[in-house]
Structure 1
Amino acid sequence: MMKFSCEKALLQNAINVASRTVAQKSSIPALEGLLLHAENDLTISGYNMQTGIRTRLSADVTEQGELVLNARLFGDIIRKMPDDVITFSADDRQLVHLSCGDADFDILGLSAADYPELPEVEDDYCVSIQQKILRAMIEQTSFAVSTNESRPVHTGALFEINDKGLTMVAVDGFRLAIRKEPLEKIEGGAFSFVTPGSALNEVQKICEDTEDLAEITLGRRHILFEVGDTQLICRRLEGEFLDYKNAIPRKNPITLIADTRALITSIDRVSVVISDKLKSPVRCTFDHDKVLLSAKTGNGEAKDICRLSGDGGGLEIGFNNRYLMDALRFAPADTVKIELNTGVSPAIIVPVDGEENFLYMVLPVRLKAAD
């Protein structure tokens, strides 16, 4: 038995959030559903055995209870309801009656007993950070998370927390991204863990552009992200993450300062002749106060010049156009410092001055002899 009423907009929003972690196809029918739990208010959960989202919304509960509804069907019904108060009632055979304005639906639910428990997360280590900062940090590193399953630990991002703040690191064998920010409060001392990239994409979506805090709690096998009325629980990735501090060469003789937008525009311009079928590195020749960019494929040849400050001494180096562009696009700065060494050493992109709150490393592509 279960009975409640609530605003359509609130319910639809909660369904959208929790549905993100519902299994698309599962041998357990309940996992293709959302768990509704009505007590003082209403909690809706979605869980695919890897990541779970639980979100709470205010509802007028007249009979407490819980049951599971098919996520797609329930979501479609609520979305098509008129914008008004929805009343929900379920009997002891899981028959559900939904009404709103003149619209009525009767559907069949599943017993909540069939729904796997979301993992409990012990709260030995906990940290708080503004939602908008966490969201930005995820966006500015997660593009470099690996999709190669042969090194599972790199399909996630490393979180390192100590008294200096939070450092996030992502690496995929071709590039590396690091973001650092100070923290509001930290409990339990320094700690680190790796969060799956798929879960981070969901955390990014549930973080609002607000200074309200998000809390991250580290359990023995799981991580809990609490954002407002929503909790996301995911499994930690185990394994040895790259020793990134030793993987980044910082004794680079060439230092150049670039306008981020201008350089992106130039790379984008010469990338016109590059396609999935016709690949080519972008050849960069770093000269005095400028870089000459070119790309050549069966489509044709493109060249451009971008002004920089500094002297590259004629260094020629090739890059995957997308990898270099991503690093520049996600760098949170209008101007960046680019450090270079040889034609086979990585490019390092860091802030021009002040705290190094970001670092991007892009590995070069070997160039064939000049045509």
Structure 2
Amino acid sequence: MASSVAASISSCFHGEHLSSSRSSLFSRDTLSFSPFISSGNNSNGKKQFLVLAKRLSGLEEAMRIRREREQRTTNPTKRRTPLRRLKVSPRLPVPDHIQKPPYVSTKVLPEISSEFQIHDEEGIERMRAACHLAAKVLEYAGTLVRPSVTTNEIDKAVHQMIIDNGAYPSPLGYGGFPKSVCTSVNECMCHGIPDSRQLQDGDIINIDVTVYLNGYHGDTSKTFFCGNVNDAAKRLVKVTEECMERGIAVCKDGALFRKIGKRISEHAEKFGFGVVERFVGHGVGTVFHSEPLILHHRNEKPGSMVKGQTFTIEPILTLGTTECITWEDNWTTLTRDGSLAAQFEHTILITATGAEILTKC
């Protein structure tokens, strides 16, 4: 599950400074980016509006034009119906013998831990076990994606597989989250709550799985195709996965965290896609979410990676705007313009020479 970072707005369309590097995960405040608009009268007495926006570089402008052209010329298989909240079934039970994370006993959203999670050999082996299970569960969840299946049915199946393996579904009860998995369909950026909506032919869906096994969390997600998906959606999903892979490729002991965002942004811009700034990767281990917060966009975040450290890289890319809105459930976050969003996520372990992907099957 992604962490949420609020960004401040200056005189630019997108703010350049983070208001807090430790803002609460899954922020309760809907964040939007808006241009500042000043008004006045011209010589004819007519109202004028001046929109102040960030100056685009030649490359950024070319990519924007390319993206707009592709969106106009790509014919979807059918017109999508905007998402809306449907019936959410009751929370599923977890057997008493299964170890539960401490936050389950309260609906209060936990603070992000300030401690980096760096493991000894025993801790690394436990992380490998938790991440391997998460990867297997995600792989199984993907086989369930087809038209007419509900996201609630996916949640139920995932829940059962996790508890059958003696683990706890980490999202369940996290800050009051009511389900065992996040299912984010089409324009949903992340944190979609499974409900009675049936998947439709042409949908894309991100399934975000985290398991808590023997005191350690393993966290991973992937965007899947449902039936016949149009070319624009396929391109978005492919590039999003490539962005994650490029971010992972720069990781090793001593590498700067900001290199991750640079690599991801460079690749996304080649295809005219936006990189969502609000949601970030995070440290993961005995604690579900901790420092470091991993920014997927260009940034000047200080700090270097350390051998034995585990964290997630989980970029979200969009076909249109990166602005977002959050439903009243305080979780489900959509693109403001209804354009598609895709996400991929791996938990990685920093080594002396690179990064070991722990959530790979």
| Higher-RCO chain (CA-CA 8 Å, sequence separation at least 6) | 2
Higher strand share: 1
TM-score scaled to structure 2, two decimals?
A: 0.22
